[in-house]
Amino acid sequence: MYPVSPRIDMSRALQKADTHWPARGNRSRIPVDYFMLLEPQPDGPTVGFYADQEIAAAVIDADGRRYLYAGVAPRLRSGRYDLDALREDEWLVEPGLVYRGASPTG
């Protein structure tokens, strides 16, 4: 369905495949791991706490791309992340935070 490997994150797969962001309603069949940022490192000040962990204003992924804090990830009644609620270029970071890709200019 999507040309991805469980060893890379979805952002890499989408860039390599030059495809569009998966449409809402179709994401429940995609493993949640594909929506997780790979090796996020905090960047910037702490803006709060969630699940006893600091929330960084931004994170840098394994490829050096920067993402800004966008909120807490919505969940379904089952407790799974609601992947259909994510907007284009929004990614998950444990323990359940959403980060959005920063524009190249800032």
For the stretch 16-31, pLDDT in tens is 444 455 666 667 678 8
pLDDT band for position 3 (cuts 50, 70, 90): very low
Whole-angstrom distance, CA of residue 71 vs CA of residue 86: 11
Domain ranges of the chain: 10-101
pLDDT of res. 30: 83
Q: What is the pTM of this model?
A: 0.75
Residue 14 backbone dihedrals phi, psi, to 5 degrees: -65, -40
> In Å, how far from its chain's centre is CA 15?
14
Q: Report how far residue 23's alpha carbon sits from residue 75's, in angstroms, rounded to the nearest whole number.
A: 18
